[in-house]
Amino acid sequence: MSEKNEQGKRAARDRLVQQREREKARERRRRSMIVGGAVVGVLGLAAVVGVIAANTGGKGEKEKAAGPLVAPSGATGKDGLAIRSGPDDAPSTLTIWEDFRCPVCAQFENAFRDTFHELERAGRIRTEYHLATIIDGNLGGSGSLRAANAAACAQDAGKFSAYHDLLYRNQPQESVDAFADNDKLIDLAGKVPGLDTPAFRGCVNDGKHDSWVQRSNAVFQNSGFGGTPTVLLNGDPIFPKKGNEPITVANLKKWVAEAEKGRKPATGTPTPASGAPASGASATHTSAPASAAPTPVAGASATTRPAAPPPAVAPPAPSGS
């Protein structure tokens, strides 16, 4: 009789566990946002359809301590958590929250990066990148954190832009946590001239900027944003649409023009990122000035972005690696 009771209790516990898992799955599906956006290239239209990485990753969960907070060179923005590209005095600011494991982030970047570069070179926008680790929280693993730390290490070398773009062009499938492998991240760095150095390797393997990334992610999770990518133009959300208008290359340029309100584009010459070798920086690279270089205190970051060719038809989906 007691054995039957024990079996009944185990069955009840199993049913309770299964019910909780089903409830969690329903909540994840509910909070996932289905995105259908049209992306305009020079020659045609490429559809971008995917699931935004929903911001469901445990606001109350404590992240594993990762040592003292050390920001990458040239940190800027509120609380020093932005990696900036474009002239400081541009009339408009494009704010982008991203996760390197997020597939829609890759679709978005691969479709719009040429337009961002074009507007930055024209002095019309500055782009501020913020890094999050939502996929790690939702699916498990550490690829979001490891890739973000490596990108911050690339920023120290003045090569954030090239490495950032490379990571998205070589993004693995969302369920494959390939970016959790530091050797993989270092191998990709070999494709960026001058980045694969002992200093970069040490920064990646030591997780030098892990705490900075975790701080950035904590700010994101408490921001009220629904998921990644989150894209704001002068504080107003524009992805996947602004009002009733979907984001396209043409609409983005129109919104930037409307936001300028007669203000002139920036005219200053962009400077290399703080801490970056001047000889390794393109004339179009931009970032916070050297005087803004942070000390190892509450999060910080800066950025550079290289010139890009005129926009072409955007890749419809992130490439595998």
Q: What is the pLDDT of residues 210-219, one digit of tens each?
A: 999 999 999 9
Q: Is 140 helix (H, G, I), strand (E, B) or coil?
A: coil
Of 136-140, 146-150, 212-216, 262-266, the poorest mean pLDDT is in: 262-266
Percent of the chain past pLDDT 90, that is, above it, reads 55
- Tell which residue, 108, 113, 9, 98, has the closest CA to residue 49: 108
For 42-74, the pLDDT digits (tens) are 323 333 434 556 766 554 344 555 678 999 998
Mean pLDDT of the chain: 76
In the chain, how long is the greatest CA-to-CA distance? 85
Which helix (H) or strand (E) covers residue 127, if one does? strand 125-131
- Please check the confidence at residue 310 and state whether its pLDDT lies above 70: no
Stronger pLDDT, 179 or 271, i.e. the higher one:
179
Q: Distance from CA of residue 304 to its chain's centroid?
A: 14
pLDDT tier at 300, thresholds 50, 70, 90: very low
Residue 264 has pLDDT above 90, yes or no: no
Of residues 166 and 6, the one with the higher pLDDT is: 166
Contact 51, 132 (CB under 8 A): no
What is 231-291 written as a DSSP string?
EEETTEE-SSEETTEEP-HHHHHHHHHHHHTTPPPP-SPP-PPTTS-GGGS-TT-----GG
Predicted TM-score (pTM) of the model is: 0.69
The stretch 200-206 carries a mean pLDDT of: 98
Task: Give 20's pLDDT tier (boundaries 50, 70, 90).
Answer: low
- Three-state DSSP at 35 gives strand
pLDDT at 286 > cutoff 80? no
Which amino acid appears at position 52 of this protein?
A: I
Question: What is the arithmetic mean of pLDDT over 186-213?
Answer: 98
Mean pLDDT of 167-190: 97
Cis peptide before 315 (omega within 30 of 0): no
Looking at residue 224, what is its pLDDT?
92
291-312 core/surface letters (b: 16 or more CB in 10 A; e: else): ebbbeeeebbbbbbbbebeebe
Residue 262, CA atoms < 13 Å, CB-side half-sphere: 0
List all residues 6 or more positions away from 171 whose beta carbon is below 8 Å from its beta carbon: 100, 101, 103, 106, 318, 319, 320, 321
Instruction: Report pLDDT digits (tens) over 126-135.
Output: 999 999 999 9
Q: Which of 314, 119, 120, 109 is nearest to 228 (CA)?
A: 109
262 dihedral zone (left: phi>0; alpha: psi -120 to 50; beta): left
Whether the predicted pLDDT of 140 surpasses 90: yes
